[in-house]
Amino acid sequence: MVEVIEIDGKLKKTNYFLKIFFILFISLLYIEIVFRYIAFRSIYSVEFIRIVLFTIVASTIIAFACSFLKEKLAKTTILVSVLFSGIYALVQLNFYNFMGNYMSFNAAGDGLGRITEQIKSFLLYIKPIYYLCLLPALLLIIIYIFTKDVLVYEKPNYKENIRRLLFIVIVHLLSLSTLYIDFFQNPNQIKESKILYRNPTLLELSLKQFGTNRFLVRDIIFIFQKKETDLIIIDKPEPKPPVVTDYTRHIDDTVWKELIKNETSSKIKNLHDFYINQSITPKNEMTGIFKDKNLIYIMVEAFDMIAINKELTPTLYKLYNEGISFDNYYAPKYSCTTGESEYIGLTSIIPSSTVCTPNSYKNNDYSTSIFKLFNDQNYYSTSYHNYSDKFYDRTVLHKNMGSIKFYNDDDLDIKRIWGWPSDLNLMKEAVPHFIDEEKFFSFIITSTTHFPYDEDGHVGVVLDHWSKVKDLPYNIKIKRYMAKAIELDLSLEYLLDTLKEKGILEDTVLVLFGDHHPLNMEYKYLNEASPINRLEDFNIDKLPFIIYNSGMEPQLISKTASTFDILPTIANLFDLDYDPRYYVGKDLFSEEETIVIFTTGSWITDKVMYYSGDGTYKLLEEVDDDYISKTNQRVNNYFSASQQTLDTDYFKYRFPEN
């Protein structure tokens, strides 16, 4: 219905519904444009057409609902909708800036927990440009204040409402059709848009393809809908030519094949078929060089290459330069950052993209975990951390993985200081629990180098070491990080000294890896202090990875590697009884191709860097025409197999005797 009103003696037509629609559409589309520009440094690409259509649908639905409301309530609803959309876009941008990945309500986990803890730091970390997302809401408030007749209520008209509903349905169907039309599909995209729409598990790609508002809707729907994962396409490995030295890894599949024969569940059978058809990585000349030695496996909080400094952190410098070091190693950040990097390092399974895996799947069977592998060789396996189970239920998870006991700050005499606890204190408390065992495997999680690094982030250890870093030519956040790294270094010095005093230094191996780069640290500051350009390719996630034993020759290895490869590599070096087919990663001393898999679906091999956001890639060496598509399928298989392994608690079926 169109109402005619008289203004200054002139007749003027107004349309309540259309005015509301245009206000919403312009506001929401502006927010999408600002988000795309800041997040992806581009506005238009073919998927932007889809986002425009989605925005029309959202604006029409809200406008239709508002058309039944009087002016005051309608104006409030419009403002709330626009403000919520702007805040959500701003939070997504800042979440990525703060935690290194985007936010999903499905996988909130550690991220939201730490933001709640660090709410002041999170708010202070908002870049001024992010506030552009709130501009439409601000303008609406100004318009409401100074323009009284911006909306003039019309009584709903039945026929008009039918036409509006029909319009909504048509535009919605048109927008959904773009998920199936080849024109809107990048041929190199790792997941088809129609699959990604149903299961928006690759957060960055989903936001880029669907926009913030539609992603939010799909993310919420995905919480309640049945989570079906893709079928695994079985690709049997080609037989490899025999080598002169027989490094064959002999595994008897008789029992497994009988289990497959009698399996009635199609999902379990599909997983059986997938795993049994993976390649068995052969042994090599590095197999068993550490057999029966002790292992201290350390996940270093925010372990970055800038922490390795000859003067400030001499022990780290010694370990890196006198051990086996990897200069092309990446630590992919998954949704729960620390907890899921730890999970990968203990299982070599891709974490679920829909939940915080260490918490949601803590009660699963983990017969293939690194704890279980060492337990099978009669090692004394324990784990340690100088913090509580506040973010991750490690007490339960580690027990189910095979740790005899997980010691947290309730079990250790961890001194409470301002900020995160001291790693030197942690090492002094943890070492006595395992040092006198005949053979031990000890997993230690440090914390001193945790953020914050800003002015409110002073902790005791920073104050203790400030005089050593205050004159460094870097931003103050880098200096505070380095002050914390000095405390970490002292803990490693204490560990080496204690092993030497006990006479077991040569019989002990140290493996150090990081969970992620320093979070809440502007990339430009890291770049200024780093020996490489951290702003190009995936270099922000390039971290140190060290394997050290005092009796070994130093090596620097440039093979592409990631957290997924650590478990199989350790298992080979210690000649543990393991089946390489159960792991996403590969032994880094084998000739098998390794692949770094990021939560976005991007990946790296020695041959190609693939960027899932736009389906582009960088060739590092010449490859076959179908290399990209085959590797994309391989990555999709790993994502699907890992998710199904978690959902079905697969290893409970695979190893029923356990």
> Domain with 324 in it: what CATH number?
3.40.720.10
Question: In this predicted model, what pLDDT tens digit does every residue of 245-303 receive, in sequence order?
Answer: 667 888 999 999 999 999 999 999 999 999 999 999 999 999 999 999 999 999 999 99
Report which secondary-structure segment, H or E, holds 393. Answer: none
User: pLDDT confidence of 41, banded at 50, 70, 90?
Assistant: confident
- Would 391 be classed as within a structural domain? yes
Residues 278 and 213 in one domain: no
Q: What is the pLDDT of residue 242?
A: 56
- Would 241 be classed as within a structural domain? no
Question: In this predicted model, what pLDDT tens digit does every residue of 535-556 receive, in sequence order?
Answer: 999 999 999 999 999 999 999 9
User: pLDDT confidence of 1, banded at 50, 70, 90?
Assistant: very low
- Would 585 be classed as within a structural domain? yes
- Would 422 be classed as within a structural domain? yes
Report which secondary-structure segment, H or E, holds 381. Answer: strand 380-385
Place of tokens 């091999």: 605
- Would 235 be classed as within a structural domain? no
Q: Please give the Cα distance from 288 to 113 (Å, whole number).
A: 42
**353 neighbors 107 (Cβ within 8 angstroms):** yes
Crossing angle between the packed helical segments 314-322 and 476-501, to the nearest 10 degrees: 70
Q: Please give the Cα distance from 94 to 7 (Å, whole number).
A: 46
* Strand pairing category for 555-557 and 324-326: parallel
Q: What angle do CA 329, 302, 367 make, to 5 degrees?
A: 65
Residues 274 and 199 in one domain: no
Residues 376 and 496 in one domain: yes
Residues 261 and 351 in one domain: yes
Residues 468 and 556 in one domain: yes
Q: Please give the Cα distance from 464 to 489 (Å, whole number).
A: 13
Write out the residue range of the structural domain in which residue 153 sits: 3-224
Residues 54 and 198 in one domain: yes
Mean pLDDT of the 345-368 span: 93
Residues 201 and 262 in one domain: no
For 118, 504, 589, the CA distances from 284, given in Å and listed in that order, are: 47, 26, 7
For 191, 235, 592, the CA distances from 628, given in Å and listed in that order, are: 13, 15, 17
Residue where a domain terminates, one of 224, 241, 268: 224
Mean pLDDT of the 2-19 span: 57
Residues 480 and 605 in one domain: yes
Residues near 330 by Cβ (< 8 Å), separated by ≥ 6?
A: 538, 541, 542, 543, 560, 561, 562, 563, 596, 604
Question: In this predicted model, what pLDDT tens digit does every residue of 458-473 receive, in sequence order?
Answer: 566 677 899 999 999 9
Residues 457 and 314 in one domain: yes
- Would 307 be classed as within a structural domain? yes
- Would 612 be classed as within a structural domain? yes
Radius of gyration of the chain (CA): 28
Residues 115 and 200 in one domain: yes
Please check the confidence at residue 150 and state whether its pLDDT lies above 60: yes
Q: Please give the Cα distance from 650 to 488 (Å, whole number).
A: 38
136 burial level (CB within 10 Å; 0-12, 13-18, 19+): buried
Q: How many CA atoms lie within 13 A of 395 on its CB side?
A: 11
- Would 287 be classed as within a structural domain? no
Q: What is the pLDDT of residue 117?
A: 62
Q: Please give the Cα distance from 429 to 495 (Å, whole number).
A: 11
Q: How many CA atoms lie within 13 A of 80 on its CB side?
A: 9
Q: Model-level pTM?
A: 0.89
The number of domains in the chain is 2
Mean pLDDT of the 80-85 span: 97
Residues 493 and 637 in one domain: yes
Q: What angle do CA 327, 94, 387 make, to 5 degrees?
A: 65
Residues near 553 by Cβ (< 8 Å), separated by ≥ 6?
A: none
Residue where a domain terminates, one of 174, 206, 224: 224
Residues 301 and 182 in one domain: no
Percent of the chain whose pLDDT exceeds 90: 73
